[in-house]
């Protein structure tokens, strides 16, 4: 086994496993040093889903779960580009999306927040990047919501995003936030990210994609970790 | 389009927790939500039943309590078959997970294994581990990765064969803390 310098994972922007302000990490963060290993075949590959056939409304959370009318709240369009650290686009990559509704309530059965569910909004969707790495989806702007981490704890509004990239080393689950949220200074999950990384989680308001008389636009570019450009072991 | 060959240095987008409420987005069918799941715990083609193995397990926190809101993903690639599966720990008794797959082959003399990616509330960053198989007695004793791990921790990576199933429990902390990898 090679104990070499670990290349690729940017410790200056990613959060640690243990963050004492985010209390749920206390019993769930690994405590022993992670094992570094030689890169092997199955780590330089990963599920691609590039031929995954999306439902026609998967990318439109304002329409994909309507039952009796339109969801309540502020319609938004979110777009951006998925690249690696060198700016090379990651085409045809799947983005899975989930979020609270405009009242700050998740559909998830365990969410006990006393805010209304929206019968016309499930709050989940998917999209693929195009050949230049661009993606776009429509949704309702999520609300802030309270949680039990500490007294009067509120999460800033955010959208959860899950991406695969090209290898399991590029796997990412993150949260996209909205500009100028007054809750940022008080949120342990946002602040668990080192200072250099925090602004990378905040989307920009984008008038260029804002659709007249329809929806405000936000831009959120996503940078996935590229794996080392070494040949596969079995080649 | 011609790519600019000059490196544009961009910072990676930081990881954030999956949170407690991922199920309707990432494992909707398993949890009974009205949205089709992308994948589930059935990784292998259902036609090749004779070759199937089941992998079952539970994820425990630092107090030995089973974790009810984790998502576990498996990825295997032995150069012949590439299989992926995903399961949430909130639907089965005891918060267990179950995958049906086929055992991968060992690549280049290494013992066969399956990559595990773990997500849960309370993890700001996912964890990686590996599932090796208890009945690979030969390859497990010569495998470069396994032999580099001290005896008392190596066993945390080896799924125990029990009938047609393998049992692979994951301990986030404690005396039996699972070996996690930097990938």
Task: Say what the ipTM of the complex is.
Answer: 0.94
What is the pLDDT, as a whole number, of residue A65? 96
Of A155, A177, A218, A227, the catalytic one is A155
B12, B23, B33: residue with CB nearest A10: B12
Map out the domains of chain B as residue ranges: 23-171
What is the pLDDT, as a whole number, of residue A228? 54
Give the chain B residue whose CA is nearest to the CA of A89. Answer: B3
What is the pLDDT, as a whole number, of residue B1? 45
Q: Hey, what are A194's tokens?
A: 């080192």
Task: State the DSSP string of A143-185.
Answer: PPEEETTSTTEEEPPEEEEEE-TTSGGG-EEEEEE-TT-TTGG
End-to-end CA distance of chain B: 32
Of A158, A218, A225, A227, the catalytic one is A158
What is the pLDDT, as a whole number, of residue B49? 63
Q: Which site among A168, A170, A227 would you substitute to test the B interface, given the most B Cβ atoms closer than 10 Å to its Cβ?
A: A168
Asked whether the beta carbons of residue A41 and residue B14 sit closer than 8 angstroms, the reply is: no
What is the pLDDT, as a whole number, of residue B7? 54
A155 is catalytic: yes
CB < 8 Å to B170, chain A: none
B35, B123, B177: residue with CB nearest A124: B35
Q: What CATH class has A23-223?
A: mainly beta
Asked whether the beta carbons of residue A124 and residue B67 sit closer than 8 angstroms, the reply is: no
What is the pLDDT, as a whole number, of residue A3? 32
Asked if A89 contacts A119 with a C-beta cutoff of 8 angstroms, the reply is no
Beta bridge partners of B129: B116
**Architecture (CATH level 2) of domain B23-171:** Sandwich (2.60)
- Segments of chain B scoring below 70 in pLDDT: 1-8, 46, 48-49
Map out the domains of chain A as residue ranges: 23-223
What is the pLDDT, as a whole number, of residue A6? 39
**C-alpha to C-alpha distances, B10 to A85, A86, A177, B14, B131, nearest whole angstrom:** 5, 6, 19, 12, 34
DSSP letter (8 states) at residue B94: G
What is the pLDDT, as a whole number, of residue A40? 76
Q: From CA B121, how far away is CA A112, in angstroms rounded?
A: 16
Please state, as a whole number, how many other Cβ atoms lie within 10 Å of the Cβ of residue A175.
23
Asked if B54 contacts B98 with a C-beta cutoff of 8 angstroms, the reply is yes
- Segments of chain A scoring below 50 in pLDDT: 1-7, 229-235
What is the pLDDT, as a whole number, of residue B174? 96
Q: Which site among A6, A10, A16, A24 would you substitute to test the B interface, given the most B Cβ atoms closer than 10 Å to its Cβ?
A: A24
């Amino acid at each position: 086994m090679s104990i070499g310098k670990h290349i690729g994972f940017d410790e200056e922007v990613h959060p640690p496993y243990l963050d004492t302000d985010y209390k749920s990490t206390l019993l769930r963060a690994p405590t022993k040093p992670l094992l570094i290993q030689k890169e092997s075949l199955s780590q330089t590959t990963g599920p691609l889903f590039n031929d995954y056939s999306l439902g026609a409304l998967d990318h439109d959370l304002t329409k994909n779960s309507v039952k009796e009318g339109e969801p309540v709240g502020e319609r938004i369009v979110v777009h951006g580009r998925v690249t690696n650290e060198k700016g090379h686009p990651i085409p045809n990559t799947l983005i899975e999306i989930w979020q609270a509704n405009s009242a700050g309530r998740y559909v998830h059965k365990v969410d006990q927040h006393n805010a209304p569910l929206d019968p016309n909004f499930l709050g989940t969707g998917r999209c693929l990047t195009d050949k230049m790495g661009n993606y776009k989806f429509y949704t309702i702007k999520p609300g802030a919501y309270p949680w039990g981490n500490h007294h009067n704890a509120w999460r800033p509004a955010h959208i959860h995003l899950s991406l695969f990239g090209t290898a399991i080393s590029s796997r990412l689950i993150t949260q996209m936030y909205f500009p100028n949220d007054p809750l940022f200074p008080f949120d342990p999950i946002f602040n668990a990210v080192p200072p250099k990384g925090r602004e990378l989680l905040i989307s920009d308001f984008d008038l260029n994609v804002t659709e007249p008389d329809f929806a405000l636009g936000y831009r959120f570019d996503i940078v996935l970790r590229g794996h080392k450009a070494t040949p596969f072991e079995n080649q | 389009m011609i790519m600019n060959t000059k490196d544009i240095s961009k910072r990676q987008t930081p990881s954030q927790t999956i949170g407690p409420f991922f199920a309707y987005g990432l494992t909707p069918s398993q949890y009974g939500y009205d949205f089709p799941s992308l994948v589930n715990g059935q990784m292998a083609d259902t036609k090749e039943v004779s070759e199937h193995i089941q992998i079952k397990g539970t994820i425990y926190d630092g107090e030995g309590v089973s974790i009810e809101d984790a998502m576990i993903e498996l990825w295997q690639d032995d150069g012949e078959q590439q299989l992926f599966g995903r399961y949430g720990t909130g639907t089965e008794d005891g918060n267990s997970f179950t995958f049906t797959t086929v055992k991968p082959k060992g690549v280049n003399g290494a013992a066969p294994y399956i990559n595990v990616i773990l997500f849960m509330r309370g993890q700001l960053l996912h964890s990686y581990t590996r599932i090796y198989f208890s009945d690979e007695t030969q390859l497990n004793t010569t495998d470069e990765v396994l032999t580099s791990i001290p005896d008392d921790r190596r066993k945390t990576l080896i799924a125990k064969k029990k009938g047609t199933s393998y049992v692979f429990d994951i301990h986030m902390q404690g005396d039996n803390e699972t070996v996690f990898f930097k990938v």
